[in-house]
Amino acid sequence: MPPRQVLLGRYCRLEPLDAAKHAKDLVDAYRETDRSSWRYLFSEPFESDSGCERWLAGAAARQHEIFYALIDLESEKAVAVMSYMRIDPGHGVIEIGNIHYSDKYKKTRAATESMYLLMRHVFEDLGYRRYEWKCDSLNAPSRRAALRLGFEFEGIFRQHMIVKGLNRDTAWFAIVDKDWPRLRRAYERWLSPDNFGDDGAQRARLADLIAAEMDRPR
């Protein structure tokens, strides 16, 4: 099982979720986040700060999932949560899920780096074989994000579950261990400060860097 430990990057730090430590920042962040961002999550938008705090406390206490708070190193504020879930050490399979960034931190270097840190931890520190991403098949932004991050689309599981009273067809994506060395090179090139101009704009797209690496002979 993954240990509950801090993962440190250049732009962010991932800390095991601690409601006493992170709830205030996350409540503030989600209060200013568009309610539509909750559409495909298992939970609903919270009607009160206390409701959000209770959800965070419950998430932090779960034993079958490991939730992280993303700390933006510039502001030292918690701005997102995500979790390892469906953890199967015996088969070396793990899923990333429950991803919810505050609106301000979507499409940022810290957001991408958080995915890199969790992926690197899975393959290099824990020695897992397979890293999964699943989402509602109708969730186009999540499907685009999975492909951008290097996950390979594997198909649709029809009527996979019931979420918020509705049938959910689930899109499955995965990365396997043999892909990781090339993905790591692409991520590190994208995350390098040299890849960003003075205005903060990226010089090379992550998807293009990943595609170039994947086209190289093993």
Closest CA relative to residue 149, chosen from 123, 105, 116: 116
Domains of the chain: 7-215 (3.40.630.30)
Query: Would you write out the chain's pLDDT as a tens digit for each of its 218 residues?
Result: 999 999 999 999 999 999 999 999 999 988 877 777 777 676 766 777 888 899 899 999 999 999 999 999 999 999 999 999 999 999 999 999 999 988 888 889 999 999 999 999 999 999 999 999 999 998 999 999 999 999 999 999 998 888 778 888 999 999 999 999 999 999 999 999 999 999 999 999 999 999 999 988 76
Query: In terms of C-beta density within 10 A (0-12 exposed, 13-18 middle, 19 or more buried), how is residue 184 classed?
Result: middle
Would you state the pLDDT for residue 106? 85
Question: Pairing relation of β-strands 12-16 and 166-176?
Answer: unpaired
At residue 23, the pLDDT reads 94
Instruction: Name the nearest CA neighbour of 80 among 102, 62, 59.
Output: 102
Q: What is the pTM of this model?
A: 0.93
